[in-house]
Structure 1
Amino acid sequence: MVQERSVIQDIETRPMRERVGISIKKEGFTPGYSVQEVIDEIKAMEDAGIQEVWVPQVGGIDTMTIFTAAALQTKRIRFNLGIVPIYTRHPLVLAQQVVAFDGIAPGRLRLGIGSSNQGLMGMYGIQIEKPLTYLKEFMGILRPVLETGQVDFEGKYLHAHYHWLDNRIVNVPLMISALGEKAFETAGEIADAALPWLAPVSYLHDTALPAIRKGAESRQRQAPPIIASVLVALSEDKPAVQREAFKQLVIYLDVPYFPRLFEAAGLPLGPNNEGMERLLNALVVQGSAAEVEQQLRQILSSELREINITHVPVVDEKKELAQLERIISNL
């Protein structure tokens, strides 16, 4: 597939600074954090030299709408939506949103999708069943609609028969969330990239990379990249970093996927979160500016081609974020 090869080669040939993005999560988790504040933060990141931004689809605000507004107020920054829960909208509806965005900001969007978890889907009254099967069917509709402008699909869970009246075609890379081996294998089969979250870099090298290659080989295609997600704290105060990083992690501890992931990575959590310090040491890139830069360069020089950073503020969020932006723009 020509598109798949171009997506992978594009990532491989970019300079390091163009393979690092910063995640903005406040939209979904902080009460009172306005849409305009998210847009202003995206604009400020572009001004600081950041090449791409990540925003999840969480909470009650539609991220694609925010991206559309931000695209009209920026010139070049790339937008990564990761992830849209696939059970909350039909793939044709999502395709319509993607086509509209691409008409406003061509080539600046990458779309991430995934099954999310039962806790979040409960607010929709949705019961998750066979998530990887559902994901494959979702992609079986979404990709051909975007790449060819038409689809005829009959699956167990999803159905679609649709043709664009103006034969509009867009080239938007499609990424899927992945934590376990089977999910990475599925990404190798059907996706343009895999999006793990809270997966230690060692786990990505030892487990995820072989799995994604296996899936790709089964379809005789080039293995897509794994985009490492890392927490970054610009501080040499280790206890303070641990304390603040735990705040980023704690909301995921009751989601069964993540304890299973940590155990598979050789970093299990025991009673009363025993083993948490070791886990956080594996998840957080921390230290002085020079130490953080060295660690980011080391990851980007490995077979993990790209990084999605979640900033962990320790003392002065604004100052530390500005320092992080300087590090990234100078890579």
Structure 2
Amino acid sequence: MTELSVLVPFVPGRSEQMLPYAAMVEWSTAHRLWQGQSVVLETHQAFTAAAGAGFRVPVGTGVTLMPLRHPYEAAVSARSLALATGHPVIAGFGPGSREMQTGMLGAPYESPLTMAREYVQVVRGLLDGEEVQVDGRYLKVHAKLPPVRAPRVDVGLGVLRTGMARLSGEVADVAITWLTPPHYIRDVLWPAIRDGMARSGRTTPPRLVAMVPVAVERDDDPVQVVLASNSAHLQAPHYLDMLRSAGVDVPPGDLAAAARGVLETDAFVAGGLDDVVKKLRSYADAGVDEIVLNVTGVHKVHGPRAGVEDLKNIIHAAGGGL
């Protein structure tokens, strides 16, 4: 069964803002609470604060950015979350955009795939209790974490295109997609993942987690909800390249047309409640193990109560899974 999880649909500025979403995971059939990179209230600290408030739920970071965090500190932070929550953690990582890499490092990675390979190698090795000895193109790490009994941490990669999908099939525990149409996951990403598995001799595939922007139909134009949720993605070169590869019509400079394109291909799932659940099932049919419901657009356009209402209604209508 494909599990349903919840993404915090905003960047919190206070720890108590996390609690309604942690409570939803605690008290419903939702599987896990997710949050992406935050440079306001830092993601790991926000999850730990929720655990300290009594909501010790499974969590995932999808994704935090490699230029901001040394892999040793990334392993410590991820394992700390497992200790604080008492549950297995998914620690997802991504190299970020070229502009972000340049701003943090002075220049972009010449090979984001090489960096991602080295980063996963170091983090996975540290979490497995190994004496890591990596002398790579980007990372030189000779270190070991002090041993402690903790729930498992699975290491994930943010996956948009075939290169990172292939790499996740080689080295990652989890592949995490964002704004990727279900047919693209089925027809493009999964074959690349399997190719990576074959290259490494791996027999068990990584779990596939899809972050899916979603909105239950209201008396408004869904295009505006899409733009409130994903306007930045619809202008980012790596997202545009992925969407065009998926056959989505994303004309340069025409955000409204791009929004219509992601709606038409169910990269953004919208409609009546029954339609939303039906469209989410297409992700399950495409081989997705965990769907993370992202109501950011609803939250921004209609307010937090509407976003929570959509989450509750979708989870209830789906019976907790698909």
Paired with 2:105 and 2:317, the residues of 1 have a C-alpha distance of 44
Provide the secondary structure at the position in 2 that maps to 1:64: helix
- Residue in structure 2 matching 1:118, options 87, 98, 104: 98
Provide the secondary structure at the position in 2 that maps to 1:253: helix
1:219 matches 2:203: no
Structure 1 segment 48-127 matched on structure 2, within 5 A: 48-74=28-54, 77-127=57-107
- Residue in structure 1 matching 2:210, options 228, 231, 240: 228
Paired with 1:181 and 1:79, the residues of 2 have a C-alpha distance of 26
Tell me by how many angstroms 1:132 deviates: 0.8
Larger mean Cα displacement after TM superposition, 205-214 or 319-328: 319-328
1:305 equivalent in structure 2:
289
1:287 matches 2:267: no
1:319 equivalent in structure 2:
309
- Mark the runs of 5 or more structure 1 residues left unpaired by the alignment: 1-14
2:8 equivalent in structure 1:
24
Q: Which amino acid aligns with 2:264?
A: N
Work out whether residues 45 and 325 of structure 1, in 8 Å CA contact, stay in contact via their aligned partners in 2: no
163 and 225 in structure 1: CA distance in 2 versus 1, 3 angstrom threshold:
closer
Paired with 1:321 and 1:223, the residues of 2 have a C-alpha distance of 29
Work out whether residues 114 and 176 of structure 1, in 8 Å CA contact, stay in contact via their aligned partners in 2: yes
Work out whether residues 201 and 228 of structure 1, in 8 Å CA contact, stay in contact via their aligned partners in 2: no
Paired with 1:20 and 1:321, the residues of 2 have a C-alpha distance of 10
Q: Percent same amino acid at aligned positions?
A: 22
293 and 174 in structure 1: CA distance in 2 versus 1, 3 angstrom threshold:
same
User: C-alpha deviations, 1:118-155, integer Å up to 9, x for none?
Assistant: 33345435422111111111112111111124212211
Paired with 1:115 and 1:125, the residues of 2 have a C-alpha distance of 12
20 and 321 in structure 1: CA distance in 2 versus 1, 3 angstrom threshold:
closer
- Mark the runs of 5 or more structure 2 residues left unpaired by the alignment: none
Tell me by how many angstroms 1:156 deviates: 1.7
Paired with 2:147 and 2:212, the residues of 1 have a C-alpha distance of 41
Paired with 2:82 and 2:273, the residues of 1 have a C-alpha distance of 36
Work out whether residues 259 and 268 of structure 1, in 8 Å CA contact, stay in contact via their aligned partners in 2: no
Paired with 1:162 and 1:50, the residues of 2 have a C-alpha distance of 37
- Residue in structure 2 matching 1:258, options 211, 233, 239: 239
Paired with 1:201 and 1:172, the residues of 2 have a C-alpha distance of 27
Larger mean Cα displacement after TM superposition, 79-88 or 165-174: 165-174
Q: Which amino acid aligns with 1:295?
A: K
Tell me by how many angstroms 1:70 deviates: 1.5
Give aligned pairs, total. 310
Tell me by how many angstroms 1:166 deviates: 4.0
103 and 272 in structure 1: CA distance in 2 versus 1, 3 angstrom threshold:
closer
Larger mean Cα displacement after TM superposition, 61-70 or 167-176: 167-176
Work out whether residues 77 and 108 of structure 1, in 8 Å CA contact, stay in contact via their aligned partners in 2: no
1:249 matches 2:230: yes
1:153 matches 2:134: yes
TM-score, normalization: structure 1?
0.85
1:277 equivalent in structure 2:
260
- Residue in structure 2 matching 1:210, options 175, 179, 191: 191
Paired with 1:318 and 1:177, the residues of 2 have a C-alpha distance of 26
